[in-house]
Amino acid sequence: MADISRTLEIDPWRIVEIRVPVEHRKKHETIFSLGNGYMGLRGSFEEGKPDDLNSDRGAYVNGIYDYYPYVYNWQRPGYPARGHSMLNVADYSIIHLTIDGEDFSMDTGTVRDYSRILDMRTGVLTRNLEWTSPNGKTIRVEAERFISMASSHCAAIRFSVTPLNFTGTVVVTSAIDGNVKNCNWNTRALEVTGTGVQDGAMWLSHRTKESGFHLAYAAVHKVEGPVHRRDTLCEMENVKETVTFHPAQGQTCTVEKYVAVYDSRDYPIDKLADLAVEDAGSMSRIGMHAAKQAHADYWASFWHDADLQIEGDDAAQQGVRFALFQLAQSTGRDGKTNCGANGLTGEAYNGHVFWDSEMYIMPAFLYSRPEIARSMMSYRYHILPEARKRAQEMEHEGACFSWESISGEECGWIFEAATDQYHLQSDIAYGVIKYHEATLDDEWLFDKGAEIIFDTAKCMAHRGAFIPLKGNKFCINVVCGPDEYTPAVDNNSYTNCMCKFHLEYAYNLAQRMALEMPEKYSELAERLGIDQTEIDLWKRAADNMYIGYDEKLGITLQDDQFLYRDPVDVEELKKRGYILMNMHPLNLWRFQVAKQADVVLLMLTLPHWFSKELKKANFDYYEPKTIHDSSLSPSIHSIIASEIGYYDKAYEYFVRTARMDLDDVKGNTAGGCHTACMGGSWMSIVYGFGGLRVYDGKVHLNPYVPKDWRSYSFKILFRGARLKVDVNRTNVTLTLVEGERFDLELFGTAVTLTANTPVYEVQSHIGVQHGA
């Protein structure tokens, strides 16, 4: 992997910080974030202050948000009247320390023997250092924390202090601070509704000002060492417990903090504090060792199923494991929440869920932990009522999912790159289709998935029209494809092809349900207002979908206008920085430049619709015209470059993807991890180097080894059977590690593995040994 200026050590399983660069603190807070799908916590120092300009402290609960108004000079129909954002909730990580009256801070005194380590194998963050105060007193500080994967409402912190050259007074103050706001908000969205002490726990409760959510937080403390006294104080906006120690030199003082968080979506408001107190107390009785072991056991199971192993590139190995680690921490598992563009690591994208969820994040879970993929798609079902409201606002039929949202209400006020991206409807349908293809989960498909498929099909079938001057082909006009620098275009090929795939599936699913479960189908069709005329429209639109192709250039048209826009030197444009912010839209939109993969992405989502020759022609035409201003773009170019034999280029794009946040490639990691890009890291290896494609119910593999790697391996779970794929410079070995049978094509040859013949080995295919 390329040599880049780095602030963190390279280690296959750990993120290691041995320096404390103040200018990188916010970025490292993102990187050292912890979460469990329900709640997340940025990696701020326990003793940090809320007014520290070098820190963005943040604690989040997935799906908890509040509203803010949009103000327009001219509000037109369909413009969202308000937005909403994931909230920075009460800070339960605070532990302040004083020694003989001096406050401990990483920004004063002298720090030695410092390390902060995130162990991705176990999901535990540790920090160790020696600190000498301005008055010359030296202590050893050891801290560790985790957010439990075994108990979704719980977290724990262990904080130890040892005087090394003095005997004196050590005061540790642990707090839950309710005086919080989002880093990009001027006002607070949360009001403290109560504080108290109950059953040995301190607690605090919140409510949002507009959205109606209530939360409660509780903490129980266990202490070890020479305790002099303990005091608990409940104030208007925080609660705190202060433990005063009188240690001798070399005597360790320890505070263990067990935290629980609950909210009102699933529990009565008047029971939230009781539940938080109960869980925090229960965790304290279990104890740090046992609670941490249960948490580590989850991670061991996760890595057993999902790990990607690379020999020969520790930087890449660290990058892809970090990607999987953060995705697992940030993705909701309750069917009501999902994974936002920054996960639970920051506020840059307000916690909003985009198309990233289905197209970039879900694949890593789909073939390793499909129950998480199911939950992600169930989230779409959960917000389906809001999608129907949005369709009415936009004068559409059926359901029209919002481009960016938590609740399902549209927050994308730049309509030309938000609502205009109608491909989202087929992207979500694609997620439903791919989930069922990988799992054959008929129960979920018929109970929830079909409703998503049908209502979005209804939207798209009425969003387009049969245009006489296009030979009565079905056209979808005034849309924006994945390339957000070409909005309001006609017949974006990605949109049209995905819609065709979507409508074909919807038609076939309706036929199947009518035959296999007529009563259920009849009830659903009546409820959704679907009749035979509607279903016939889906087929007619799919059969007659307009897909642009230029005979002279031999390429798929990105849209009707792209070839006729002003030519431009993309390399010169790059010198202007982020052109979306540095160029008037009317200038940007007239140029022949793509923000990110568009036709190139289509060749991945529907690979069997394109010949290798057409894939190469499309890539050769569009890749030089793509500026990659989106972090979603390099991974897709890496995958297609692998497929068409551009191995060096594939690896260059992979490098830009795999360490996007660890190396702060875009310069904005401080605002949160790029979760879609993280999903792209997994895709670049499994879809790219591994050549995985799944279509028509069949698994296809065409792996090769990048030239600087010795080997790599990954696992695929498909229809209840798990396959391990090992690729090195001489052999490809397939091993059935779970299930009775796995059928696939390897290098175009049919292979069947069974419990009786679980291993298949073949000599590496051409390109494997050299990768170029």
Residue 277: count of CB within 10 angstroms of its CB: 25
Tell me how far apart the alpha carbons of residues 431 and 377 are, in angstroms, rounded to a whole number. Answer: 7
Assigned token pair, 347: 């506020």
Tokens of 543: 């059969």
- C-alpha to C-alpha distance for 519 and 426, rounded to whole angstroms: 27
Contacts of 689 (CB under 8 A, 6+ apart): 642, 650, 654, 703, 704, 705, 706, 712, 727
Is 551 a domain residue?
no
Return d(Cα 131, Cα 142) in angstroms, integer: 11
Of 752, 738, 771, 717, the residue nearest 371 (C-alpha): 717
Token representation of residue 464: 């387009």
What is the rounded CA–CA span in Å between residue 646 and residue 628? 18
Which candidate, 507, 411, 425, 492, places its Cα nearest to that of 460?
Answer: 425
pLDDT above 90: percentage of residues in the chain: 92
Closest CA to 93 of 258, 291, 267: 258
Q: Cα–Cα distance between 753 and 246 in angstroms, integer? A: 66
Tell me the catalytic residues. 484
Task: Give the mean pLDDT of the chain.
Answer: 95
Range of the domain at 44: 32-302
Identify the pLDDT of residue 766: 53
Rounded to two decimals, the pTM is 0.96
The pLDDT value given to residue 230:
97
User: Are residues 276 and 264 in contact, defined by beta-carbon separation less than 8 angstroms?
Assistant: no
Using CA atoms, how far residue 403 sits from 210, 381, 406, in Å, is 22, 15, 10
Helix ranges (DSSP H) in 32-117: none
Question: How far apart are alpha carbons 182 and 219 in whole angstroms?
Answer: 23
Whether the per-residue pLDDT at 770 is higher than 50: the answer is no
pLDDT at res. 50: 67
Rounded to whole angstroms, how far apart are CA atoms 134 and 147?
Answer: 34
Distance, in Å, from the CA atom of 613 to the CA atom of 652, rounded to the nearest integer, reads: 22
Torsion of CA 687, 691, 693, 698, to 10 degrees: -140
Closest CA to 683 of 708, 647, 653: 653
Give the count of domains, the chain. Answer: 1
Q: How far apart are CA 216 and CA 272, in angstroms?
A: 6
Q: What is the pLDDT of residues 96-145, one digit of tens each?
A: 999 999 999 999 999 999 999 999 999 999 999 999 999 999 999 999 99
Kindly tell me if the per-residue pLDDT of 599 is higher than 70. Answer: yes
The verdict on residue 159 lying in a domain is: yes
Residue whose entry in the numeric block shows the structure tokens 């009317």: 586
Q: Which residues contact 25 (CB under 8 A, 6 or more apart)?
A: 54, 55
Who's near 603: CB < 8 A, 6+ residues apart? 610, 615, 618, 619, 640
- Residue 573: C-alpha distances to residues 25, 250, 287, 643 (Å): 31, 61, 57, 28
Alpha helices in 159-311 (DSSP H): 272-286, 288-306
**What is the residue-wise DSSP string for 325-374?**
HHHHHHS--SSS----TTTTS-STTTT-B-THIIIIIHHHHHTT-HHHHH
Q: Which region among 399-408, 600-609, 762-771 has the lowest average model confidence (pLDDT)?
A: 762-771
pLDDT band at residue 579 using 50, 70 and 90 as cut-offs = confident
For residues 11-19, give the mean pLDDT. Answer: 96
pLDDT in tens, 518-549: 999 999 999 999 999 999 999 999 999 999 99
By residue count, the chain amounts to 772
Q: Is the pLDDT of residue 4 over 50?
A: no
* Mean pLDDT of the 184-205 span: 95
Which residue carries 């989960």 as its tokens? 441
Question: Is 102 a member of any domain?
Answer: yes
Per-residue pLDDT band for 73 (boundaries 50, 70, 90) equals: confident
Is there a domain that residue 13 lies in?
no
Alpha helices, DSSP H, located in 664-734? 675-683
**Beta pairing partners, 732:** 727, 762
The pLDDT value given to residue 613? 98
What does the pLDDT look like over 135-174, one tens digit per residue?
Answer: 999 999 999 999 999 999 999 999 999 999 999 999 999 9
- Domain membership of residue 226 (yes or no) is yes
Backbone angles phi, psi at 43, to 5 degrees: -85, 50
pLDDT of residue 772: 40
**Sheet containing 34-35: order of strands:** 34-35, 39-41, 59-61
Segment 365-371 mean pLDDT: 98
Q: Tell whether the model's pLDDT for residue 769 goes beyond 60.
A: no
Task: Give CA separation, 346 vs 60, 127, 188, 205, in Å.
Answer: 9, 21, 17, 22
Query: Does a structural domain hold residue 204?
Result: yes
Which of 656, 58, 663 lies closest to 343, judged by CA?
Answer: 58
**Tokens 């170029």 sit at which residue?**
772
pLDDT tens digits for 605-655? 999 999 999 999 999 999 999 999 999 999 999 999 999 999 999 999 999
Q: Say which residue the tokens 């007659």 belong to.
A: 544
Give the domain CATH number at 214.
2.70.98.40
Give tens-digit pLDDT for 247-267. 999 999 999 999 999 999 999
CA dihedral 400, 402, 407, 411 (to 10 degrees): -140
Distance, in Å, from the CA atom of 240 to the CA atom of 221, rounded to the nearest integer, reads 11
Q: Work out the average pLDDT over 759-765.
A: 90
Over residues 705-746, the pLDDT tens digits come to 998 899 999 999 999 999 999 999 999 999 999 999 999 999
Contact predicate 382/356, CB 8 Å: no
Q: Which of 640, 644, 719, 717 is CA-nearest to residue 683? A: 640
DSSP string, 673-689: --HHHHHHHHHIIIIII
Contact 269, 263 (CB under 8 A): no
The answer as to whether 105 is a domain residue is: yes
List the beta bridge partners of residue 749. 746
Mapped onto helix, strand or coil, the DSSP state of residue 155 is strand
**pLDDT value, residue 5:** 55
Q: Is 409 within 8 Å of 361 (Cβ atoms)? A: no
For residues 15-28, give the mean pLDDT: 91
Residue 191 lies in a domain: yes
Whether the per-residue pLDDT at 416 is higher than 90: the answer is no
Dist. CA 689–CA 97, nearest whole Å: 50
End-to-end alpha carbon distance in the chain: 15
301-341 pLDDT, tens digit per residue, is 999 999 999 999 999 999 999 999 999 999 999 999 999 99
User: Using 50, 70 and 90 to split pLDDT, how confident is the model at 32?
Assistant: very high
pLDDT one-digit tens code per residue, 280-308: 999 999 999 999 999 999 999 999 999 99
* Cα–Cα distance, 457 to 505 (Å, whole number): 9
Enter the DSSP assignment of 609: G
* Cα(26)–Cα(54) distance, integer angstroms: 6
- Mean pLDDT to the nearest integer, 356-373: 98
Contacts of 524 (CB under 8 A, 6+ apart): 450, 451, 454, 513, 530
